[in-house]
Structure formats: C-alpha cells, structure tokens
C-alpha cells in the first residue's frame, strides 16, 4: 500500500507534521485538533490498494470507480461526505511537438484531501512544496489544496497554449512561404489539429466546475472566502479557452487556404502541361502527315521542301511559346 502513497502528512496551522502511519489514526488526529487536515497523495492505485483509503475516508463508490478507471472528463461532483473533482493537467513535449494529458482526481472532505494521479502530467510534487512554503495559504485547510491544484493546472494550460501558438505561427509561415514545400503539409496540419483537440478536451469541460466553485451559491466543503481565488482561476481558464478556440479556427483556415493553394498550383501545372502538349502537337502533326507513304504529296520533289517544313514547325512552336508566355501559362 505504501508504494502507491506518494506522500502523506498532517497539516496543522499551516505547518506540516508527520502523523501516524495508519490512515484512520492520522485522520482521527487531524479531526481531533480542529485546525488540521490530512493530505494523502496516491499514484495510479489498483482497486485493492485504493480500497483501504476509500473505506477509511468514506468515499462514495461511484467516485472511487471514476478514480480507478480514469479517462474521465473534468468535472465536479458533490456527495454526502465528500467532494470529488477531476482535473486533466497538460504537458507540452517540445521534442515531438505534442500535447500529453494526465488525470488528477481530488477527494475533499471533513479535514482531509485525497489526490489520485494518473499519468505524468499532474503537478502534485511542485504544488505540495509550494504550499508548504506558504503556511498562510495552508491555514485555509483542504480548500487551499484544491485551489492550488486547479491554479497550477491552469497555469500549465497558459504555458502550453503559448507553445502551441508559437508552433502554429511557424507552421503558418512554412505553409505560405513562396517556395514552401507542400509535402505532407496537410498531414502536419491535421496532426496539429488533433493536438489542439486533445488540449481542448482538458480545458473546455473544466470551465463549468471552476465557475461553480467561484459562484455565489457555494459548494459543500469549500470555504466561502475561497471564491475570489477560484474566480481568478476561472479568468485565466477563460482566456486559455478563447486562445484554444482561436487556434482551432486558425488551423481550419490554414488548412482551407493550403488546399486552395494546392488547387491553384495544380491549375498552373495543368496549364503548363497543356501548353507544352500544344507545342508538341504541331510538329507531330506535320511530321505525321509527311511520314505517310503516298506518292502524290505537295512539295515532295522540291529541293527546299525539307528545310522549309522544319522551319515551319519551328516557327509554329515558337509562336505558340510566345503566346503561352504572354498569357502566363509558362
């Protein structure tokens, strides 16, 4: 069981204190003092490993099932004895220009916080260290942990959105370059659009839970004084969602412009091919006529017939070339 518990501690008056190893004793100690709470962090627990935690903290079976199954949308659910929230942290991988998402489940109740991490994108270690360096924030109890986790995830969203914006500008410059290569460009745009879609699945659904935490109606187990902080998170998230929507629209426009550009280039190629085929058709026709095995043909006995026909064909080709050149076909 201890292998999946990444960290566990009791926070009393904003300070970390090491509690009993037994979760039931630790939770009882935190509740006995009244100004403390227990924070347990787990990483990808199995059903058997999580059963002890869920029974000790009285977590709802449906929330436990979601935490174990993962692959959940960001959401906020209120149960009788706890609050369950799902956040999808996002990490940008610059070596592959891809977006990787993790999952973070937060159980919040009376004097306890249980976090379950899936994947590598959750910023739990950094958040815990930052909170432990700010005891004034930790004094607000479990709500401070939920706020800090949401705030850290949204801050990562802002960074990832900036990286995607930079990559999109580079792709846009390459697509519209005068001599830019069109090889696999449509595939690259489509792959980029998939990355934006993956990012959007993490940021879009989170808006409703954060707005609910910031709303005037209030949420059980969440202090009313925390609403301004969640409003700040909501503002940042709104800005990220607007930026993601802009990226998606711009990608669609770039793809449409690229396809139109490809059509123009294909028309130019067809005009060039048609022009060269027309120039080749004239001498082919004349040579074909004079290649027929007939005795009675014009100019067959004339001494200057051959150079005259050759000059005629060259003149016809030259005339067609100049005509197509003026029209921009060549």
Q: Where are the domains of the chain?
A: 5-261, 269-326
pLDDT > 60? residue 114: yes
Q: Does 5-261 match 269-326 in CATH topology? A: no
Q: Is the pLDDT of residue 95 over 50?
A: yes
The region of weakest confidence among 40-44, 213-217, 222-226, 265-269 is 265-269
The encoded tokens of residue 27 equal: 């939770």
Using pLDDT thresholds of 50, 70 and 90, give the confidence band for residue 330: low
- Confidence tier at 1 by pLDDT (50, 70, 90): very low
> What is the average pLDDT score of the chain?
82
Instruction: Return the closest-CA partner of residue 236 out of 197, 190, 196, 203.
Output: 203
Asked if 34 contacts 20 with a C-beta cutoff of 8 angstroms, the reply is: no
Q: How many CA atoms lie within 13 A of 107 on its CB side?
A: 32
Residue count (the chain) = 330
pLDDT grade, residue 184 (50/70/90)? confident
**Fold of domain 5-261:** Beta Polymerase; domain 2 (3.30.460)
Please tell me the distance from the alpha carbon of residue 82 to that of residue 101, in angstroms, as a whole number.
26
pLDDT digits (tens, 9 = 90+) for 54-83: 888 889 999 999 998 888 899 999 998 899
pLDDT, position 180: 57
Residue 238: exposure state from Cβ atoms within 10 A (0-12, 13-18, ≥19): middle
pLDDT of residue 9: 87
For residue 208, pLDDT beyond 70: yes
Please check the confidence at residue 310 and state whether its pLDDT lies above 70.
yes
List the structure tokens of 221: 């187990």
Q: Are 213 and 106 in contact (CB under 8 A)?
A: no
pLDDT of residue 86: 94
pLDDT tens figures, 211-222: 999 886 778 888
Strands (DSSP E) found in the chain? 5-12, 15-17, 36-43, 75-78, 82-87, 90-93, 98-101, 103-109, 112-118
The distance of Cα 55 from the centroid of its chain, to the nearest Å, equals: 37
pLDDT, position 239: 94
Residues 6+ apart with CB under 8 A from 116: 42, 43, 44, 45, 50, 67, 104, 105, 107
Rounded to 5°, angle at Cα 84 from 80 and 88: 170
pLDDT at residue number 263: 73
Least confident of 11-15, 28-32, 298-302: 298-302
CA distances from 99 to 147, 164, 199 (A): 24, 9, 7
CA 119 remoteness from chain centre:
16
Q: pLDDT tens across 193-202, in order?
A: 888 888 999 9
Instruction: Give the pLDDT band (50/70/90) at residue 255.
Output: confident
Give CA separation, 43 vs 50, 55, 118, 125, 170, in Å.
10, 18, 6, 12, 37
Q: Domain 269-326 is of which CATH architecture?
A: Up-down Bundle (1.20)
* Lowest-pLDDT range of 106-120, 176-190, 268-282: 176-190
pLDDT at residue 294 tops 70: no
Cβ contacts of 284 within 8 Å, gap of 6 or more: none
pLDDT at 211: 92
> What does the pLDDT average to over 284-293?
68
SS3 content of the chain, % helix, strand, coil (to 5): 60, 15, 25
Residue 256 has pLDDT above 90, yes or no: no
Name beta bridge partners: 107. 84, 114
What is the rounded distance in angstroms from the CA atom of residue 329 to the CA atom of residue 271? 5
Is 154 a residue whose pLDDT tops 90?
yes
Confidence band for 260, pLDDT divided at 50, 70 and 90: confident
In terms of Cβ atoms closer than 10 Å to its own Cβ (0-12, 13-18, 19+), residue 154 is buried
């Amino acid at each position: 069981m201890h292998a999946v518990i990444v960290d566990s501690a009791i926070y009393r008056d904003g300070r970390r204190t090491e509690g009993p190893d037994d979760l039931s004793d630790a939770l009882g100690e935190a509740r006995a003092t009244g100004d403390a709470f227990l924070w347990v962090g787990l990483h990808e627990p199995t059903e058997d490993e999580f059963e002890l935690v869920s029974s000790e903290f009285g977590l709802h079976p449906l929330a436990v099932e979601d935490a174990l199954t993962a692959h959940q949308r960001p959401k906020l659910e209120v149960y009788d004895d706890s609050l369950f929230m799902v956040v999808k942290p996002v990490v940008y991988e610059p070596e592959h220009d891809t977006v990787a998402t993790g999952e973070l489940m937060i159980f919040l109740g009376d004097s306890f916080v249980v976090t379950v991490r899936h994947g590598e994108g959750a910023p739990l270690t950094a958040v815990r260290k930052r909170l432990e360096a700010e005891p004034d924030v930790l004094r607000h109890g479990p709500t401070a942990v939920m706020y800090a986790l949401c705030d850290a995830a949204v801050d990562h969203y802002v960074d990832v959105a900036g990286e995607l914006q930079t990559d999109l500008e580079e792709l846009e410059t390459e697509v519209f370059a005068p001599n830019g290569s069109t090889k696999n460009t449509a595939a690259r745009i489509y792959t980029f659009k998939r990355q934006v879609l993956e990012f959007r699945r993490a940021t879009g659904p989170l808006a409703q839970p954060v707005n609910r935490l910031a709303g005037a109606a209030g949420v059980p187990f969440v202090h009313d004084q925390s609403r301004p902080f969640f409003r700040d998170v909501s503002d940042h998230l709104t800005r990220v969602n607007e930026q993601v929507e802009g990226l998606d629209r711009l990608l669609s426009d770039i793809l449409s412009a690229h396809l139109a550009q490809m059509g123009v280039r294909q028309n130019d190629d067809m005009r060039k091919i048609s022009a060269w085929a027309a120039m080749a058709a004239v001498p082919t026709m004349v040579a074909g006529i004079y290649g027929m095995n007939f005795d009675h043909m014009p100019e067959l006995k004339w001494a200057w017939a051959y150079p005259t026909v050759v000059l005629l064909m060259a003149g016809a080709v030259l005339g067609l070339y100049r005509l197509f050149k003026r029209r921009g076909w060549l």
